[in-house]
Structure 1
Amino acid sequence: MNEIKEKEAWVLNGYFGILLIAILLAGTVLCFMEQQLIIGGICLILAIVLGSGVTMVQPNQSAVVIFLGRYMGTVRREGIVLTVPFSVRRTISLRVRNFNSKRLKVNDVNGNPIEIAAVIVFKVIDSAKAVFDVDRYEEFVEIQSETAIRAVATKYPYDNFEENELTLRGNAEEVSSELTTELQDRLRVAGVDVIEARLTHLAYSTEIAQAMLQRQQASAIISARKQIVDGAVGMVQDAIDRIEKEGVVDLDDERRAAMINNLLVSIVSDHGAQPVVNTGSLYQ
């Protein structure tokens, strides 16, 4: 496939062109009135030829000029311009646009079915590529966006309580950045620049939502318990070391074990520990 790059089309100031057409039309009328039909006919033909090249380009739009099946260039100058006569001009919007994808059902890296959707912010930067390198670039953007969303969603788990692991729910910035890069690689051929891509919807599929919610709750409880136990062990270790360092009481192995047990129970327990007063000694 021959790659087409955007180039500037031949243009003249549109107001000058309209003035020239008006002069030719006036000359045509005068020539016909004076029975100079040949000159009048030439002026009329020239006016028609020039008039066929008059076009209007709005701000943040471009006009792709095609003459006899050949790309002649792109007009980006806003306002009324005079370009190649008898050419076809295809108007392309250069404005920033949003595309909201449908809710797609895909499987994450663990095989769990999820629903995901995203909004894509893009604009056309090369009108020639948008017209000639792809067929209906708006549909191309839509299809490639959904394909990129599926590709990125299958690389990560929906959620995970393991440390240092990227997830769709917990690392939205990283996932959005990768989605933007993936989309830019796919849409570059269409002359489209991807400004931003953001997830707008992320959830487990309805058929497993309840089960995965219970799994999330169980994983959260386990993770919290682990953190509590790690903190409790550190607190007990600090307490024992301080007691022995300051000589508050001499602890043998049995007393140390009993104190560790009591401290861990009081810290880790879900409910407030109830003190038990021992009126005897540890060995009675």
Structure 2
Amino acid sequence: MRNDPVVIPVHLLYRDEAGGSAVPSVPSGATVVGRRRGTGEQRKVVVPEPAPVAQAPLAQAPLAQTSVAQGPVERPGPSGPGWAAVAAGLAAVAGCGSVLWWVGLVPGPLRVLLGLPARTYDGIGTAGWGALAALAAVGLCAFGGLTRGREGYASVLTLFGAYRGSVRRTGLVWLSPLLVRRRVDVRLKHWRSEPLPAVDRNGIALRVVVLVVWRVADTARATLTVADHTGYLRGQVEAGLARVPVDAPSAAAAVGDALTRQVAARSAAAGIEVFSVQPVRIDYAPEVAEAMRHRNVAALDAKDRDRALASVVDAVEDTVRRLTARGLVGELDDYERKALVRELTVAYLGGR
């Protein structure tokens, strides 16, 4: 498309001010073109059209992704059967004995007991020392890495602070002596909390005792990312109680289900599997309980006073009616009747 200049008549650039003077307004960069004679044409202003700006395609920004660092994920660690390590250690011991017999260092009684021929000692030499060192290293590595794996426990292996895997094997197991082992209890556990702060739907302060059923599911995360499992669970339960309003004890099951979902979702990132979070006791906070106790006592006192006053009024009314019916007091005017009722009321209340 051809970029032709835009032609604006000059008379459109003039406007009448309040004082009656015309002030020209010429755009910046415009060119005034004079009129052609004999045509009656007005002067015009040529405004060049701005060149189109080449727009680079917008690069799509990567979507922000929020992720929580969850630490290493459990994976099988290097291990071997214990019987193979025992066999290798015994073979290394037998090899050391063979080398010592070959160089002539086996005592005579032991050589006779084993039925070995006699050999003259001529020195060990470099080859003998090398063989003894290699066989001793094999024996130490074989016997030094023996350990016992038990049901309900796992070993987390690290080397110079780096995670190398976890071992859940049971029985006689061989692990490298160079690896640092941390034994983790993966059995099912129960944790009963102390009274934790909470609120009900009306904002009244409560104290809730919960029972949490949990276990370590990912030994790597639970060991390397959390220092205190009980303290971590306590914090998650408190965070859940801040979000879930606690109703009356009759609704404890619904509150427990909501707490279980929240605590389980948050604890999974730390390698802890939560099966149940159930409130076992729901009490009002001490200050709220004291205020409610005073209010209940006041209500009972008011109820007793109303009952006592009603009984006194009934007794006075019955007495006045019976005295009047039997003619014991005769006809009473208003003043005398009020005086009699007052005296009877005081007598009955004083007697009570």
Shorter-chain TM-score tier: 0.5 to 0.7
Which of 53, 57, 77 aligns to 2:149? It is 57
What's the counterpart of residue 206 of structure 2? 114
Instruction: Note if contact 1:54-1:80 (Cα within 8 Å) is conserved in structure 2.
Output: yes
Question: Against the structure 1 CA distance between its residues 29 and 151, is the aligned structure 2 distance closer, same or farther, given a 3 Å change threshold?
Answer: farther
What's the counterpart of residue 289 of structure 2? 209
Instruction: Note if contact 2:191-2:230 (Cα within 8 Å) is conserved in structure 1.
Output: no
Deviation, 1:205, is 2.0
What's the counterpart of residue 230 of structure 1? none
Which of 187, 192, 207 aligns to 2:267? It is 187
Separation in structure 1 between the aligned mates of residue 173 and residue 281 of structure 2, nearest angstrom: 45
Q: Partner amino acid for 2:258? A: E
Deviation, 1:141, is 2.4
Which of 76, 82, 89 aligns to 1:21? It is 89
Instruction: Note if contact 2:156-2:184 (Cα within 8 Å) is conserved in structure 1.
Output: yes
Question: Against the structure 1 CA distance between its residues 147 and 33, is the aligned structure 2 distance closer, same or farther, given a 3 Å change threshold?
Answer: farther
Query: Over the residues paired in the alignment, what is the CA RMSD in angstroms?
Result: 2.5
What's the counterpart of residue 34 of structure 1? 102
Deviation, 1:79, is 1.2
Instruction: Note if contact 1:118-1:149 (Cα within 8 Å) is conserved in structure 2.
Output: no
Question: Against the structure 1 CA distance between its residues 190 and 149, is the aligned structure 2 distance closer, same or farther, given a 3 Å change threshold?
Answer: same
Instruction: Note if contact 1:29-1:40 (Cα within 8 Å) is conserved in structure 2.
Output: no
Matches within 5 A, 1:115-154: 115-152=207-244
What secondary structure sits across from 2:72 in the alignment?
A: coil
What's the counterpart of residue 193 of structure 2? 101
Question: Against the structure 1 CA distance between its residues 107 and 2, is the aligned structure 2 distance closer, same or farther, given a 3 Å change threshold?
Answer: closer
Separation in structure 2 between the aligned mates of residue 2 and residue 209 of structure 1, nearest angstrom: 42
Separation in structure 2 between the aligned mates of residue 148 and residue 179 of structure 1, nearest angstrom: 6
Question: Against the structure 1 CA distance between its residues 175 and 43, is the aligned structure 2 distance closer, same or farther, given a 3 Å change threshold?
Answer: same
Q: Partner amino acid for 2:84? A: F
Matches within 5 A, 1:235-250: none
Separation in structure 1 between the aligned mates of residue 261 and residue 131 of structure 2, nearest angstrom: 62
Structure 1 residue ranges without an equivalent (≥5): 157-166, 218-284
Separation in structure 2 between the aligned mates of residue 12 and residue 85 of structure 1, nearest angstrom: 12
Deviation, 1:197, is 1.2
Matched, 1:178 2:246: no
What's the counterpart of residue 222 of structure 1? none
Matched, 1:84 2:169: no
Instruction: Note if contact 1:14-1:54 (Cα within 8 Å) is conserved in structure 2.
Output: yes
Q: TM-score, length-normalised on structure 2?
A: 0.53
Q: Partner amino acid for 1:130? A: A
Aligned residues: 206
Separation in structure 2 between the aligned mates of residue 216 and residue 75 of structure 1, nearest angstrom: 61
Question: Against the structure 1 CA distance between its residues 197 and 78, is the aligned structure 2 distance closer, same or farther, given a 3 Å change threshold?
Answer: same
Q: TM-score, length-normalised on structure 1?
A: 0.65
Q: Partner amino acid for 1:183? A: V
Deviation, 1:196, is 1.1
Question: Against the structure 1 CA distance between its residues 213 and 100, is the aligned structure 2 distance closer, same or farther, given a 3 Å change threshold?
Answer: same
What's the counterpart of residue 48 of structure 1? 140
Instruction: Note if contact 2:70-2:269 (Cα within 8 Å) is conserved in structure 1.
Output: no
Separation in structure 2 between the aligned mates of residue 44 and residue 24 of structure 1, nearest angstrom: 7
Question: Against the structure 1 CA distance between its residues 34 and 189, is the aligned structure 2 distance closer, same or farther, given a 3 Å change threshold?
Answer: same
- Quick check: 128-137 or 139-148, which moved more? 139-148
Matches within 5 A, 1:203-282: 203-209=283-289, 211-212=291-292
Q: Deviations over 1:12-70 (max 9, x none)?
A: 11122122112212322332343333211110011222333322211021111112322
Instruction: Note if contact 2:96-2:135 (Cα within 8 Å) is conserved in structure 1.
Output: yes
Question: Against the structure 1 CA distance between its residues 181 and 68, is the aligned structure 2 distance closer, same or farther, given a 3 Å change threshold?
Answer: same
Separation in structure 1 between the aligned mates of residue 70 and residue 272 of structure 2, nearest angstrom: 18
Deviation, 1:145, is 2.8
- Quick check: 189-198 or 63-72, which moved more? 63-72
Question: Against the structure 1 CA distance between its residues 37 and 187, is the aligned structure 2 distance closer, same or farther, given a 3 Å change threshold?
Answer: same
Separation in structure 2 between the aligned mates of residue 142 and residue 43 of structure 1, nearest angstrom: 53
